[in-house]
Structure 1
Amino acid sequence: MDQQHFNCSPESPLIPNSENATHPAKKCYDKAQIINGLKKQLSLAGPLVLVSFLQYSLQMISVMFVGRLGELSLSSSSMATSFAGVTGFGFKLGMGSALETFCGQAYGAQQYHMLGVHMQRAMQVLVLTSIPISMIWAFTGQIFISLKQDPQISIHSGIYARWLVPAIVPYGLLQCQLRFLQTQNIVWPLVLSTGITSLVHLLICWTFIFGFGFGNEGAALSIAISYWTNVHILAIYIKFSPTCQNTWTGFSRAGTKNLLNFLKLGIPSALMVCLEFWSYEFLVIMPGLLPNPKLELSMMSISLNTSSLVFRIPFGLGTRVSNELGAGRPHAAHLAVQIVIFLALTESLSLSLLLVAVRDVWGFLYTNEKEVVRYLASVAPVLALSNFMDGIQTVLSGSTLEKLFGHFMSG
Structure 2
Amino acid sequence: MEKDDVKEPFLLRATAAEQAGGSALSLSSSAALTVGDGDIPPISGFGDFVREFNVESKKLWYLAGPAIFTSLSQYSLGAVTQVFAGHISTLSLAAVSVENSVIAGFSFGIMLGMGSALETLCGQAFGAGKLSMLGVYLQRSWVILNATAIILCLLYVFAAQILAFIGQTRSISQAAGLFSIYMIPQLFAYALNFPTAKFLQAQSKIMAMAVISAAALVMHALFSWVTVAKLRWGMEGLAAVLNGSWWFIVVAQIAYILGGTCGESWSGFSWEAFHNLWSFVRLSLASAVMLCLEVWYFMALVLFAGYLKNAEVSVAALSICMNILGWAAMVAIGTNAAVSVRVSNELGANHPRTAKFSLAVAVISSTMIGIAISAVLLIFRERYPSFFTDDEAVRDMVRELTPMLALSIVINNVQPVLSGVAVGAGWQAVVAYINIGSYYFLGIPLGSVLGYKLDFGVTGIWSGMLMGTVIQSMIITWMICKTNWDKEATMAEERIRKWEGGSDSEDNTLN
Same fold (TM over 0.5): yes
Counterpart of 1:264 in structure 2 is 282
Superposition pairs of residues 117-196 of structure 1, within 5 angstroms: 117-196=136-215
1:286 aligns with 2:286: no
C-alpha distance in 2, partners of 1:188/1:278?
29
1:163–1:220: 8 Å Cα contact kept in structure 2?
yes
Q: Which residue of 2 aligns with 1:69?
A: 88
Q: Any conservation in 2 of the 1:5–1:109 contact (CA below 8 Å)?
A: no
> How far is the alpha carbon of 1:86 from its aligned partner?
3.1
In structure 1, C-alpha distance between the alignment counterparts of 2:131 and 2:306, rounded to whole Å: 50
Describe how 1:398-409 pairs up with structure 2 within 5 A: 398-404=420-426, 406=488, 408-409=491-492
1:90 to 109, 122, 144: 109
Q: Distance in 2 between matches of 1:191 and 1:38?
A: 20
| Structure 1: distance between partners of 2:384 and 2:205 | 34
Question: 1:27: how far off?
Answer: 5.2
Give the Cα separation in 2 of the matches to 1:404 and 1:189: 26
- In the alignment, which residue of structure 2 is the partner of 1:112? 131
Between the two proteins, the alignment pairs up a number of residues equal to 406
Deviation at 1:141, TM superposition (A): 0.9
Cross-structure match for 1:377: 399
- Comparing 76-85 with 52-61, greater Cα deviation is found at 76-85
Other-structure match for 1:358: 380
Q: How does 1:6-85 map to 2 (within 5 A)?
A: 18-19=34-35, 26=42, 28=44, 29-85=48-104
Alpha-carbon distance in 2 for matches of 1:37, 1:23: 12
Q: Output the CA distance in 1 between the equivalents of 2:125 and 2:300.
A: 38
Look up the match of 1:315: 333
SS in structure 2 at match of 1:129:
helix
Structure-2 change in CA distance of 1:311 and 1:30 (3 Å): closer
Instruction: State the distance in 1 between where 2:404 and 2:187 align.
Output: 32
Partner of 2:4: none
Decide whether aligned partners of structure 1 residues 206 and 24 sit closer, same or farther in structure 2, where only a CA change above 3 A counts.
closer
Give 1:78 shift.
0.6
Deviates more, 1:401-410 or 1:161-170: 401-410
Change over 3 Å in CA distance of 1:22–1:276 after alignment to 2: closer
Instruction: Provide TM-score, normalisation by structure 2.
Output: 0.74
- Give CA-to-partner distance per residue, 1:85-138, whole Å, 9 cap, x none: 432012212222221221111111111111111111111111111012111111
Asked if the contact 1:104/1:184 (under 8 Å) is kept, the reply is yes
Over 3 Å counting, the alpha-carbon distance change for 1:7 and 1:38 in structure 2 is closer
Separation in structure 1 between the aligned mates of residue 280 and residue 326 of structure 2, nearest angstrom: 26
Name the CA distance, whole Å, in 2 between partners of 1:198 and 1:410: 39
Question: Partner of 2:122 in structure 1?
Answer: 103
Which shifted more, 43-52 or 187-196?
A: 187-196
- Look up the match of 2:459: none
Contact 1:166 1:221 survives alignment (8 Å)? no
1:333 counterpart (336, 352, 355): 355
Supply the AA of the counterpart residue of 1:206.
Answer: W
What amino acid is aligned across from residue 332 of structure 1 in structure 2? T
Provide the C-alpha distance between the structure 2 equivalents of 1:191 and 1:272, rounded to a whole number of angstroms. 26
CA distance in structure 1 between the partners assigned to 2:330 and 2:72 by the alignment: 6
Gap change, CA 1:21 and 1:195, over 3 Å in 2: closer
Residue 62 (structure 1) shift: 0.7
Work out whether 1:303 is the aligned partner of 2:321: yes
Q: Which residue of 2 aligns with 1:410?
A: 493
In 2, Cα distance between the equivalents of 1:45 and 1:338?
14
Aligned partner of 1:345 in structure 2 is 367
Q: Which moved more, 1:392-401 or 1:43-52?
A: 392-401
1:218-253 per-position Cα deviation (integer Å, ceiling 9, x unaligned): 212211111111111112211114x31211111112
Q: Tell me the secondary structure at the aligned position of residue 116 of structure 2.
A: helix
Aligned partners of 1:23, 1:336: CA distance in 2, in Å? 12
1:168 Cα deviation from its structure 2 partner: 0.7
SS at match of 1:368: coil
Any unmatched runs of 5+ in structure 1? none
Check whether the contact 1:159–1:217 (CA below 8 A) recurs between aligned residues: no
> Would the alpha carbon gap of residues 121 and 7 (structure 1) be closer, same or farther in structure 2, given more than 3 Å must change?
farther
- CA distance 1:66–1:404, change in 2 (3 Å): closer
SS in structure 1 at match of 2:183: helix
Cα deviation, residue 49, structure 1: 0.1
Give unpaired runs (5+ residues) of structure 2: 1-13, 16-23, 428-487, 495-511
- Alignment check: 8 A CA contact 2:132 2:264 kept: yes
- Label 1:365 to 1:51 Cα distance change in 2 as closer, same or farther (>3 A): same
- Counting aligned pairs with the same residue, the percent is 30
Query: Counterpart amino acid of 1:215?
Result: G
1:278 CA displacement: 2.6
Verify the 8 A CA contact 1:58 1:223 in the aligned structure 2: yes
Instruction: Quote the RMSD (CA, aligned, Å).
Output: 2.6
